[in-house]
Each structure stands twice: as structure tokens, then as C-alpha cells.
Amino acid sequence: MSRIRPANGAVPFLYGYLNRAHTVLAVWCPPCNDWHLHHDLYRPGTTVHAEAACTRPGSPYRAGGYDVNITYIPLDHVLRQARLYR
């Protein structure tokens, strides 16, 4: 995770979901239509700034990254719910 923000301070935000050990932060990337994973030790209920893992041209996240609002919803719960709607 990076703490560097663009000069104007404005970055988009996304929701992040943690594994049970709080060491993997999963963020759904709409432009990629896929999960991006960040590895560190995280706390639910906090916000962190992430470097963009998105490689799609024109993605709004590439220039300055994004803030991640880390939810209290476990990642495994989100993945189970997503499977129900496929």
C-alpha cells in the first residue's frame, strides 16, 4: 500500500474485503471486472490508499490509485454471495 496521493488529493474510493487473517485485502476493480489483491496486515473499518493494480487503458484508478474503505464483511462471505448470482 502506498500513502502517496495525487497533488490535488482527489482519488476514487472502492470497498475492500479481508480474508479471515486480515492479511489479504481484495478490491473489486470495475474496469478490469476482476479482483485485485493487496497483501499486508489490515484492520476493518479503516481506509487505506492503494497503488492501482489496474492495467486497463483509461481506468480512473491508474493515475493516482484509489482509497479503499475496508469493510467488516469477510471476503469469503462476499465470494459466496457472488457465486449465487452467476
Q: What is the pLDDT of residues 30-52, one digit of tens each?
A: 998 899 999 999 999 999 999 88
Residue 1 has pLDDT above 50, yes or no: no
Number of domains in the chain: 1
Q: Is residue 1 part of a domain?
A: no
Residue 8, in any domain of the structure: no
Judge whether 27 lies within some domain: yes
Name the residue range of residue 59's domain. 13-84
Domain presence at residue 5: no
- Answer with the residue of higher pLDDT: 63 or 13: 13
Assigned domain for 33 exists: yes
Cell triple for 66:
484509489
What's the CA gap between 36 and 47, in Å, rounded? 16
pTM as predicted:
0.81
Tell me whether residue 4 is in a domain: no
Q: How far apart are the first and last CA of the chain?
A: 31
The pLDDT of residue 72 is above 70: yes
